[in-house]
Amino acid sequence: MPSHERHADVLLIGGGVAAARCARTLRRKGFVGSILLVGEESRPPYNRPPLSKELLRGVVDPALIAAEPEGWYERHAVELWTDGTVSELRASERLARTGDGRSISFERCLIATGAEPRVPDIPGAQHAQTLRTAQDAAAIRGAALAAGADARLVVMGGGFIGVEVAASLAAMGSAVTVLERSGQLWAGALGETLSNWAAGHLLRLGVELRFGATATSLDADSVWMGDVHLAAALVVAGIGVRPRESLAAAAGLEIADGILVDEARSAAPGIYAAGDVARGPHPLADGDRIRVEHWHSAREGGQAAALAMLGLDPGPPPAPWVYTEFAGQLVDVVGWAPDRDAERVLGDLASDRFAVAYLRGDRVAQLAVVNGWLPVERARALVESRSPASQLQRLVGAN
């Protein structure tokens, strides 16, 4: 083997929680082969959920968001190449090449390259700050503090990032305006009831919400919406992400808004994919392949890929589980219901402890649980067993 070549029994491409969880599962299951993880950032994998919350507000030590405790990779003989890029993948030869010219041969490989933020397609887009990395969170925090309490900050997008970042910046004392293109928070994905309830909490924090609004251009200190001008000391864009699939596409893997994977989370012989970049079948999606862009799913996907690599059955994927925290409120959403027929509120909205059930036909397809109204595992089991809506009445009685 030439000196610039390396062999890894398992190559993990991507430095997020999907890759970290894959490594952990392999070791937990007794895998003794070599594992090499190549990640683009300069630090080991970390949890991204705190970026828009505790890290932005400066209430957590950045070291504490690490996916694994210090020394874990050394102790478990997982080699980390940080600041590294895999620039080419030859799937049939089981060979990868890094940006700095190193070759890696492998037996099995996980592609967990994640997603990248969409950048607004408008003049002056370079003035918008996106949020994906701990460095981005530090930059937004620094800019907000430097702007001072009198300055107005604008958040483009009222989705997961928009809601959480707006709440965090407002909690830090900033004046914040959210521009959401649709008529509801989360672009209506969580329905009108939850959007209105969350909007109430953001308004109480002093956040200004503008629906049906989008920026048409940006400059260094303002946002333009047509002829309307809004001063903005900082613009944060949270307008969605796109999967980072170009490496897999160039390798000839099947791509359709994500790398297509099968039940075993495998994309081609020896190649697996997990996390934001993977699109796989899901029992709750009636055979459709879905891509779930959330922390739980990345970890569970990394774990499933590890099991599949070892020839073990990962079982059906659990119901997607998303959680969001803002303005002191916690919302857990389990299930999958983009095509729901109806919504039903359970419990007392005014008490901030309730749930919203999203129904497809007479089945509960998704549940949003606010502030622990129902244990998440129970909600997940309810959705996974495709419980009929008639069971919801019992939940109300039990809570």
181 near ligand NAP, rule: CB under 6 A: yes
Question: If binding means CB under 6 A, how many residues of this protein chain bind ligand NAP?
Answer: 27
Binding residues among 290-329 for ligand NAP as defined by CB under 6 A:
293-294, 322-324
| From candidates 89, 232, 239, 255, binder to ligand NAP by CB under 6 A | 239
| From candidates 44, 120, 320, 335, binder to ligand NAP by CB under 6 A | 120
> Tokens 């080991």 — which residue?
44
Would you say 84 or 243 has its CB closer to ligand NAP? Answer: 243
How far apart are the C-alpha atoms of 166 and 178, rounded to whole Å? 7
Q: At its nearest, how many Å lie between ligand NAP and the CB of residue 236?
A: 10
13 near ligand NAP, rule: CB under 6 A: no
How far apart are the C-alpha atoms of 60 and 115, rounded to whole Å? 24
Do 338 and 353 meet the contact criterion of CB atoms below 8 Å apart?
Answer: no
Q: Which of 113, 123, 72 is nearest to 253 (CA)?
A: 113
147 near ligand NAP, rule: CB under 6 A: no
209 near ligand NAP, rule: CB under 6 A: no
Phi, psi of 249 (to 5 degrees): -65, -45
Q: Which of 117, 233, 121 is nearest to 177 (CA)?
A: 233
242 near ligand NAP, rule: CB under 6 A: no
Residue 41-80 contact track with ligand NAP, rule CB under 6 A, x = bound: --------x--x----------------------------
Q: Which segment (36-44, 54-62, 91-99, 175-183) binds ligand NAP by CB under 6 A?
A: 175-183
240 near ligand NAP, rule: CB under 6 A: yes
Q: What DSSP string runs through 167-191?
A: HHHHHTT-EEEEEESSSSGGGGTTH
Q: At its nearest, how many Å lie between ligand NAP and the CB of residue 188?
A: 7
How far apart are the C-alpha atoms of 194 and 165, rounded to whole Å? 18
- CA angle 342-297-51, nearest 5°? 100
Would you say 233 or 239 has its CB closer to ligand NAP? Answer: 239
Binding residues among 354-393 for ligand NAP as defined by CB under 6 A:
none
Q: At its nearest, how many Å lie between ligand NAP and the CB of residue 193?
A: 17
Q: Which segment (62-70, 96-104, 153-161, 382-390) binds ligand NAP by CB under 6 A?
A: 153-161
Q: At its nearest, how many Å lie between ligand NAP and the CB of residue 396?
A: 26
Would you say 38 or 277 has its CB closer to ligand NAP? Answer: 277
Terminal Cα-to-Cα distance of the chain (whole angstroms): 64
Would you say 162 or 335 has its CB closer to ligand NAP? Answer: 162
User: Long-range contacts of range 27-34, CB-CB < 8 Å, 24 or more positions apart?
Assistant: 27/76, 27/78, 29/306, 29/307, 29/310, 29/312, 31/306, 31/310, 33/9, 33/107, 34/7, 34/8, 34/9, 34/10, 34/77, 34/79
CA 75 to chain centre: 28
> Tokens 């080419």 — which residue?
88
Q: At its nearest, how many Å lie between ligand NAP and the CB of residue 171?
A: 16
210 near ligand NAP, rule: CB under 6 A: no
Residue 22: C-alpha distances to residues 40, 151, 232, 275, 317 (Å): 17, 44, 42, 11, 15
Binding site for ligand NAP (CB under 6 A): 49, 52, 120, 156-162, 164, 179-182, 186-187, 214, 238-241, 293-294, 322-324
